[in-house]
Chains A and B, each alone.
Chain A
Amino acid sequence: MHRSLIVALALVLSLSAFAQDRFDVDVHGNKPRGCATHSPSEAEADAMEEHTRMLISMIDKQSGGRFDVEANATTVTVQVWFHVIQNTSGAGNVTSGQIADQITVLNDSYSGLTGGSDTKFRFVLAGTTRTTNNTWFGAGYGSSAETQMKSALRQGNAATLNFYTNQPSTGELGWATFPSSYSSQPLKDGVVCDWRTVPGGSFSPYNEGDTGTHEVGHWVGLYHTFQGGCSKNGDYVSDTPAERSAAFGCPNGRNTCTGSKYPGDDPIENFMDYTDDFCMYKFTAGQASRAASLSATYRGL
């Protein structure tokens, strides 16, 4: 009987048509969110804590401590690989000084120096690659050129930040992958920014390096502040006021979710909105907490 079961299973398995890729990361899952409750922040925090405990216990048990989740660590240093793409006309040539400045902008933003909460993340340049390729230079979000570029250049593992600069022909300032995407699409992991957005670039008013800060925010697990519009869960961070849709410029006093349920003006000063670089300067404590939790779970950071 037992052998019959094994044969049955073998047959069932032989019919599955999924790719047999091997990935580096061991644990996959997402942070739960509170729901169906009138005190979302508390319930959410409880659920998050419980789930994180569970995942950490899974990591401890199954990976033999391959992920060192240090509960008491005050900071964690992210190794950053910078991949500079330029075209045959020489456009895209981000200087090493600009790369150093972008790293400094990340550290200033994530340490709270610019006025927000201190997150646990710090950044150090691990290496730089430089490639001349006209197709990759114009690679936009979701394009085959993006896949080729990343497959060829990616360094490190789930904990390594791969930061690509090019000039997307489809017009985005930048984009990033989320921590929970690493398990299914490890080669696509990382952030891409228009080269003119790095400090000293020409993409005014988006040339102070905050596109990098914003994209890395996604990479550590943050949503836009306008995620979900005025809905109860919003961006799943309780201390960012609800926001109906993206803000641009620097519209002081903008308040798109009104009424007693939605206290506070729109968080236009938050790095995870779409306002001008000079206007955005902070992460909240809730964002720091969410990013720490998701990055520990999925990136071993």
Chain B
Amino acid sequence: MVERRALSPPFPFGGLRPATPPNMLFIALLFSIAAKADVPRVSAAELHALMQKGEAVAVDVRGSVPYEHGHIVGAVWMPLGLMSQRGGELPEDKLIVAYCTCKAEETSLEAALLLSSLGFGKVAVLHGGYPQWMEAGLPTESNRGGGGRLAPPASVACDRNDLTVYSGTVTHYRRGNDRTVLVIETDSDTTETVTLRHAGSDDPSRFFLIDGTPLTPRDWSRIESKKGELRPDMRANAWVCSDGSVIVDWKPSGAAGS
């Protein structure tokens, strides 16, 4: 069930500490590489099966931002930097599987070694990390956007009974003369394509808002880095009426509520 695999050793030390004698450092480095090669790797499917049986716990060793953006359902959040203080919170009778988003499990291997040093006997890392888990289509949970409640801005004329909203991060954007197309990865975990038809209108305020107030031409610089190119991680609420009309409320401040 648990697969052992030889590891091409990464070089984990970014700089030397002056107080450490060179020969000691060399020995330590060799030892670290050897120990890392001994850490078992489990596949995403194996980890999922073990968690379902209550035999393993996944430990997310990344920072809070990637964790909040999406993590394995049931994972314990314990970044590497907090592990020496809080490692004792983990169960001793289960396989502890550390995971990160890194090419060769660099961070999770460090976590696994640390946990071993804290006395945990059953420690492994997730092969391929979080990307592999997502690739396998296994359950994730996101706290993106927080949980919130939105009210239609005053300029949305659509009857509320005919209205919906897609709130999230804009991942694709094309602004043409007669139409603008957006793809939004919503905070509700859906992907939505929204088309605004604005042929014959020079007035962006009819179709676009910025934080709830009508957009003026000079506001584009807060939304686009240059003409037609969106600033990174731009958020928007697309208010879509059942008659096909759309108003997009840009959220350059990162606000959206969801």
- A residues lining the B interface (CB < 8 Å): 1, 4-9, 11-22, 26-33, 35, 47, 50-51, 53-54, 57-58, 61-62, 140-143, 168-178, 180-181, 183-185, 203, 206, 211, 214-215, 217-219, 222-224, 226-229, 231, 233, 244-251, 274, 276
Contact = CB atoms under 8 A, between A and B. Distances in A.
B78 to A, nearest CB: 7
B245 interface: no
Contact of A30 (B13, B17, B74): B74
Interface centre among B139, B146, B166, B253 (most CB of A within 10 A): B146
A7 B20 contact: yes
A15 B12 contact: yes
Given A16-B80, A176-B147, A249-B160, A58 B251 contact: no
Contacts of A16: 80-81, 110
Interface string B198-221: 000000000000011000000000
Given A50-B54, A215-B148, A274-B150, A33 B73 contact: yes
A30 B75 contact: yes
Contacts of B72: 30
Contact of A246 (B17, B150, B161): B150
Interface in B111-151: 113-114, 117, 137-139, 141, 143, 145-151
A27 B32 contact: no
Helix, strand, loop or mixed for chain B's interface?
mixed
A7 B24 contact: yes
25 contacts: A4-B24, A5-B117, A11-B13, A13-B114, A15-B14, A20-B85, A28-B78, A29-B57, A31-B74, A32-B51, A32-B139, A35-B137, A58-B91, A62-B89, A141-B256, A142-B255, A172-B257, A180-B143, A224-B147, A224-B258, A228-B189, A231-B189, A244-B164, A250-B161, A276-B160
Nearest to B33: A8
Given A181-B68, A248-B163, A173 B148 contact: yes
B28 to A, nearest CB: 4
Interface residues of B, number: 81
A11 B17 contact: yes
Given A14-B17, A18-B80, A29-B74, A246 B164 contact: yes
A285 B191 CA distance: 29
Helix, strand, loop or mixed for chain A's interface?
loop
A27 B89 contact: yes
A20 B82 contact: yes
Contact of A180 (B141, B160, B255): B141
B189 to A, nearest CB: 5
A1 B27 CA distance: 9
B35 A8 contact: yes
A175 B82 CA distance: 28
Contacts of A244: 164
Given A8-B28, A62-B88, A185-B64, A226 B54 contact: no
Contacts of A222: 147
B232 interface: no
B176 interface: no
